[in-house]
Structure 1
Amino acid sequence: MKIKLLAIAACLLGSVTSFAQNRGHEIGFQSDNDSFLAQGSDRYYTNGFFLFYRVAHDPAKMGKRMRDDVANAVFGFELGQKIYNARSGNLPDASFVDRPFAGYLYLGFNGNVLYKNETTIKLGVKVGVVGPAAGGYQIQKFIHNTFGFYELNSWQYQVRNAAQLNLNLDVNKLLARSSAADLTVTGYVNAGTGFNAIGVGPMVRLGNFNQLFQSVSTQSTASRNAANQLLHNTELFFYYKPQINAVAYDATAQGNIFKDHPEPGTQEIVGDINHVVFSNQLGVSYASSRFVVDLSAFINTREVKQMVKSTHQWGSLTVLYRFN
């Protein structure tokens, strides 16, 4: 009798585990801010906030060729805002603007196809605006007033309004793996009216991680594929992701791609970008049956030639809730 009860319990536990692995929806947010790293700075990329909704598609319902090759497919919506400062939001005069002020507001959609051989391809489109209509000044003023920070006085120099239509492609490919470490090559291409760049680099993971087709690392924790045999029911790992970026255009620093700058009759200040930028991301990721949490830090080299600081950094917190 005891053996039968243990067998039933094991079956139930296995069902719960499998069920937990395959939750088809997730919703959550990401918050970026340079103050998260306790550096006492308020400069350059100073704040970002993003809302996410993702839903998985069952590969078994795809065509035969896709069924044979695809382990997971995730589609997502994203609403985001980024805010950029000069060295401070309170400057004596225009000559101190070493990085253009800008807000970027967008709505995005993406499709993420993840293959059994641990190659992933994510294609997205973002529609939005750079400039005063993005609300960067209003949000930063609200934050500063709410938390008693210094008074802003320099947003009159921000880049002018420019409608945005941008495409992005992200690719990952597993290179090697042991029981507690793996190595992936990652790359991206951005193209559109505001952001044109390409980047590539390695990603190293250490700890309890899953395959790239169902992991925090590839924004693919949502899944409807019950056949996926994961390495771990819970992810908890450290990662390091250095990258070299070739940048052709950045509307938050250079303004509207279709106009001469600064625009006549405005106080707009734009900058000259560095076309090669090195970035470093390191962090810790956790994913359970219900929750996904990622804590990371970014350190970038100078993106605009006029920037007085050779690097800038910020912290990022992502929290997602998974459901059926």
Structure 2
Amino acid sequence: MLKPTIVTLFFIFCFAFVQAQDTSNVYTKEFTFITENDNYNFTKKDRYYSNGVFLRYQWLAKNISSSRLATKLHRIEAGQMIYNPHLNRRSLEQVLEQQDRPYAGWLYASYGQTNVFNDERILQFDGAVGILGPGAKGKEVQTNYHKIIGLYKLYGWENQVQNEMGVNASVRYYQPLIAATKTFSLHATGKATLGNTFTNASAGVLLKLGKLEDEQYSAYWSGRLGQSKQEQRHQTEFIFFLEPMLMAQAYNATVQGGLFREDKGNYTSELNPFIYIVKTGIILSNRQTSFSAYYHIKQREAKTMIEPFEVYGAFAFSIRFR
């Protein structure tokens, strides 16, 4: 996989270049590219949540029906997520001997909304449909990418979970705990997902520090859409964020196999019912572009997993249009 430093420099260059082109326009549409990978933590290993690639398009609602809403955004997204066990690059025999979670691919498309209220509450929801298993092409993407850039040979994809169509719905709610300032914001968070691929619920807090815009214009929610130059507090918004959460897991098909399948695959695992997740990172944004870099620290999802937790990094770049 690409080294994090190369990816970081590329996105920073794009951010700086487009920032210089910023005008007085009000932007109403946004395109975002996101890449997540466990190699972004410098381990040089493919394990657990190994790779994710996402394309997202968001646009500002033309009409807001409720006087309580400050901003309403629509979004569509397509993505692929790839999961590996702890060891997958020495021999097939060694992989099968030490396999501690299934191989899995998840390919999906979704539609969602972000609603920012006048009192700084945020409500987000999404509906997704996709395919789990060989139909998600996780094996093909990962093995061909390794061949192209000359990385090690992969073993064990024969033990991926079987095909199943997935339908999932999720909701995320953020309740302000104190009034936000120009440098500080604190929300209580609650999230839930229901479906035959993922079913879970989590609760925690979201802390934001830095040079912050009003919540309705915060790049954390892609809120720079609709913001005029006169409404911005800072030429460049800087956000450091920390979001620790406790999750209760009811089902995860990437670990347990398809919910409605009798033949789930050659290898499945039992879930840990409760896990913690910590997400932290930075966001740099002007009205036309945003760059994000963040880490996830996640307790092992499956009881069989060798490592006590997994760490993966991510980079995102957004550009906005009229």
TM-score norm. by structure 2 comes to 0.87
Residue 116 (structure 1) aligns with: 118
Residue 262 of structure 1, CA deviation: 4.2
Q: CA deviation at 1:123?
A: 1.3
Change (3 A) 1:226 1:69: farther
Gaps of 5+ in 2: 1-20
CA gap of 1:321–1:270, structure 2 versus 1, over 3 A, is same
Q: Deviations over 1:258-315 (max 9, x none)?
A: 123545xxxx211111111101111010111211111001110111100000011010
Q: Secondary structure at the match of 1:35?
A: helix
SS at the partner of 2:216?
A: coil
Q: Does 1:207 align with 2:224?
A: no
Q: Is this contact kept in 2: 1:50–1:79, CA < 8 A?
A: yes
Contact 2:164–2:261 at 8 Å: present in 1 too? Answer: no
- Contact residue 258 and residue 264 of structure 2 kept, 8 A: no
Is 2:77 the partner of 1:78? Answer: yes
Alignment partner of 2:301 out of 300, 303, 317: 303
Instruction: Give the TM-score normalised by the residue count of structure 1.
Output: 0.87
Contact 1:32 1:48 in 2 (8 A): yes
Is the contact made by 1:71 and 1:228 (CA closer than 8 Å) also made in structure 2? no
Q: Could you say which residue in structure 1 is the equivalent of 2:86?
A: 87
Q: 1:250, CA displacement in angstroms?
A: 0.4
**Cα 1:27–1:17, aligned 2, differ >3 Å: closer, same or farther?**
closer
Report percent identity of matched pairs.
26
Are 1:189 and 2:192 matched, yes or no?
yes
Task: State the SS of the aligned residue for 1:213.
Answer: helix
Alignment CA distance shift 1:75-1:228 (3 Å): farther
In the alignment of these two chains, the number of paired residues is 298
Aligned position for 1:149: 151
| Structure 1: stretches of 5+ with no match in the other structure | 1-15
Alpha-carbon distance in structure 1 between the residues aligned to 2:143 and 2:151: 9
Mapped pair 1:25 → 2:24: no
In the TM superposition, what is the alpha-carbon distance from 1:24 to its structure 2 partner? 0.3
Mapped to 2, the partners of 1:221 and 1:289 lie a distance apart of 6
Q: Distance in 2 between matches of 1:132 and 1:310?
A: 28
- Letter of the structure 2 residue corresponding to residue 276 of structure 1: F
For the Cα contact (< 8 Å) 1:54–1:222, is it kept in 2? no
Task: Give me the whole-angstrom Cα distance separating, in 2, the residues matched to 1:244 and 1:256.
Answer: 24
Question: Which structure's CA Rg is the greater one?
Answer: 1
Quote the offset at 1:114 in angstroms.
1.2
State the one-letter code of the partner of 2:279.
Q
1:19 to 1:200, Cα distance in 2 relative to 1, 3 A: farther
Aligned Cα root-mean-square deviation (Å):
2.0
Residues 103-182 of structure 1: pairs in structure 2 closer than 5 A: 103-176=105-178, 177-182=180-185
1:232 equivalent in structure 2? 234
Structure 1 residue 172, shift from structure 2 partner: 1.4
